Amino acid sequence: MFQFTEEQKMVRQMVRRWTTNSLEPKVSAIEEGEPPYELMREFAKTFGIPDMVVGMFEKLEKRAAEKQAGGDGGGGGDAKQPSPGIGGPDPALSAIVSLELTRVCPGFMLAFGASMGLAGGAIMGKGTLEQKRRWALPIMTWDKIGGWGMTEPASGSDAFRSMRTVAVPRGDGYVLNGQKTFITNAPYADILVVYAKIDHGDGTPLSERPIEAFVVERGDAGVDTPPPMKKMGMHASPTGEIFLQDCYLPADRLLGMKEKSQGRASGKGVFHSERTGMAPMACGIIERCLELSLAYAKEREAWGRPIADYQLVQDKLARMYMHLQNAQNAMFKQLWMEKQGMTMTDAEASATKLYCARAATECAMEAVQLFGGNGYMQEYRVEMLARDAKLLQIGGGTDEIQALNIARNLLSDEDDGRL
Ligand SMILES: Cc1cc2nc3c(=O)[nH]c(=O)nc-3n(C[C@H](O)[C@H](O)[C@H](O)COP(=O)(O)OP(=O)(O)OC[C@H]3O[C@@H](n4cnc5c(N)ncnc54)[C@H](O)[C@@H]3O)c2cc1C
């Protein structure tokens, strides 16, 4: 697969129409702090996402009932069960949604994806059928907003080993204490997936304790989510902290309902999808920067000629086009693999993210340069795209962590046909 099908292109046009008519006019307001969620609900409704998700859930429940009737219990957490992605069962549609929303407002896409993809995806991946019905379904239908809480003030890149949030078994449930930070949607989320280390009081050092994922609901006693943090970019995506103080959660909040040290696997699964999912966002940023830059270069004159006539400006346009080609190839490779039921290796996923994030940031910064003083002004979109692009090199694992991942895989003795 190296391009979208005719049908997918039509969907793309429809999404483009919505972003032009409904998202673009609201970008300034949401960049300035208006919560983006009503607009997300409108988007989801316009494209029939809630109905589609309900349909997929009905099938999921039917399959689970058949499985149970067959005598194997059914209904447990199963990462292989299909998760309704943000564009439904066709991964290309999810990519189109991501690409098109990002073109107009990367922050809007970040918050949209964190709710449906990260929080919804984590519950779909490791939750029991009942947990999926109770928490993933309302997130996927946009009745509720989700957030995914892994990062802490002292544990980002070193997410698992340095994690300090602790869950102590008490009675039928757990008492959680700790703090999460930089969590997308935290200030507004109704449902939060939070990772914590289990403390059985057996003296296991903190760094080695098993990690589990829990569902925290807004309104649970002992949970505080302060107002959004102020940040460099992605202003349309509210980012915040989660404070957990003696927060008691009943047993049914443990994802999977059984302690199985699922937290690391769940976290790794989410990181993997964040990494491969970066390609459409990068394509959105690069494509928009290139379009805006082409138009500006033809229109803006210096020394009596359009700046497009100057070869140093042409080099910027050519490099943006080169990066777009490569990011698109990465995206289509990933979509093709998903369609074949194949999964990218960790090295492939990290290489995809590393390349795409750097390319998007380079293109957006070069677009600012090409626009000169205007590029530095908020009135011109390249300013927002440059601030937003930088996050791609940090969120979901920094560039350095992707490079380390690639090297670790290449240097390991396992032969997974990676070269
Ligand atoms: C806008 C935004 C939204 C986010 N949303 C979420 C979210 O929804 N949920 C969530 O859980 N997290 C979220 N994050 C957190 C994000 O995943 C982390 O910020 C990221 O993983 C980096 O962790 P850190 O900030 O602690 O940096 P650190 O780990 O402190 O890294 C600092 C620097 O050291 C480098 N470094 C670290 N270790 C090594 C090493 N071994 N070798 C070389 N260099 C190294 C890093 O690459 C980086 O340059 C978000 C962050 C931002 C900014």
User: Is the per-residue pLDDT at 76 higher than 90?
Assistant: no
- Report the nearest-CA residue for atom 29 of ligand 1: 157
Domain 6-144 and domain 277-411 have a common topology = no
- The CATH architecture to which 277-411 belongs is Up-down Bundle (1.20)
Instruction: Give the atom of ligand 1 at the shortest distance from the alpha carbon of 151.
Output: 11
CA distance 74 to 61: 10
149 C-alpha to ligand 1 centroid (Å) = 13
Marked catalytic residue, from 274, 338, 348, 366: 274
> Environment class of residue 23 by beta-carbon count within 10 Å: exposed (0-12), middle (13-18) or buried (19+)?
buried
- Report the nearest-CA residue for atom 27 of ligand 1: 156
* 32 counts as catalytic: no
CA angle 128, 258, 112 (to 5 degrees): 45
State the pLDDT at residue 311.
Answer: 98
User: Is the per-residue pLDDT at 265 higher than 90?
Assistant: no
- Report the nearest-CA residue for atom 35 of ligand 1: 400
State the pLDDT at residue 79.
Answer: 40
159 C-alpha to ligand 1 centroid (Å) = 9
Report the chain's mean pLDDT, rounded to a whole number. 93
CA distance 307 to 415: 51
CA distance 237 to 135: 21
Question: Domain 149-268: which topology?
Answer: Butyryl-CoA Dehydrogenase, subunit A; domain 2 (2.40.110)
Query: Binning pLDDT at 50, 70 and 90, where does residue 81 land?
Result: very low
State the pLDDT at residue 72.
Answer: 53
Mean pLDDT along residues 211-219? 97
Which residues lie below 8 Å from residue 299, measured CB to CB, with a gap of 6+? 306
Q: What is the pTM of this model?
A: 0.95
Lowest mean pLDDT among 36-40, 240-244, 264-268, 376-380: 264-268
Q: Is-contact 293 316, C-beta < 8 A? A: yes
- Report the nearest-CA residue for atom 26 of ligand 1: 156
User: Is the per-residue pLDDT at 113 higher than 90?
Assistant: yes
User: Is the per-residue pLDDT at 75 higher than 80?
Assistant: no
State the pLDDT at residue 418.
Answer: 57
Higher pLDDT, 163 or 277: 163
Parse the chain into domains and list their residue ranges. Answer: 6-144, 149-268, 277-411
CA distance 362 to 395: 17
Mean pLDDT along residues 180-200? 97
Instruction: Give the atom of ligand 1 at the shortest distance from the alpha carbon of 397.
Output: 21
Lowest mean pLDDT among 30-44, 84-98, 194-208: 84-98
In the chain, the percentage of residues whose pLDDT exceeds 90 is 85
Mean pLDDT along residues 30-40? 97
CA distance 237 to 245: 26
150 C-alpha to ligand 1 centroid (Å) = 11
Query: Binning pLDDT at 50, 70 and 90, where does residue 74 land?
Result: very low
State the pLDDT at residue 80.
Answer: 43
Could you tell me the two tokens for 327?
């990011």
Instruction: Give the atom of ligand 1 at the shortest distance from the alpha carbon of 396.
Output: 17
Higher pLDDT, 76 or 319: 319
Q: Is-contact 79 273, C-beta < 8 A? A: no
> Comparing C-alpha atoms, which of 118, 105, 136, 131 is closest to residue 28?
105
Kindly list the distances between the CA atom of residue 389 and the CA atoms of 84, 96, 281, 282, 310, in Å, as whole numbers in the listed order.
Answer: 27, 18, 9, 8, 26
User: Is the per-residue pLDDT at 208 higher than 60?
Assistant: yes
Q: What is the pLDDT of residues 339-380, one digit of tens each?
A: 999 999 999 999 999 999 999 999 999 999 999 999 999 999
Q: Which residues pair with 169 in a beta bridge?
A: 174
State the pLDDT at residue 391.
Answer: 98
Mean pLDDT along residues 199-213? 92
Q: What is the pLDDT of residues 120-166, one digit of tens each?
A: 999 999 999 999 999 999 999 999 999 999 999 999 999 999 999 99
Instruction: Give the atom of ligand 1 at the shortest distance from the alpha carbon of 158.
Output: 29
Mean pLDDT along residues 275-296? 96
277 C-alpha to ligand 1 centroid (Å) = 17
406 C-alpha to ligand 1 centroid (Å) = 17
List pocket residues of ligand 1, CB cut-off 6 Å. Answer: 114, 148-151, 156-157, 182-184, 231, 234, 239, 391, 394-398, 400-401, 404
Instruction: Give the atom of ligand 1 at the shortest distance from the alpha carbon of 114.
Output: 8
Q: What is the CATH number of domain 6-144?
A: 1.10.540.10
User: Is the per-residue pLDDT at 213 higher than 50?
Assistant: yes
**b (16+ CB within 10 A) / e for 312-336:** ebeebbeebeebbebbbebbbbbbe
Mean pLDDT along residues 167-181? 97
72 C-alpha to ligand 1 centroid (Å) = 41
- Helices 311-339 and 346-371 sit at what angle, rounded to 10 degrees? 150
Query: Which amino acid would we find at residue 15?
Result: V
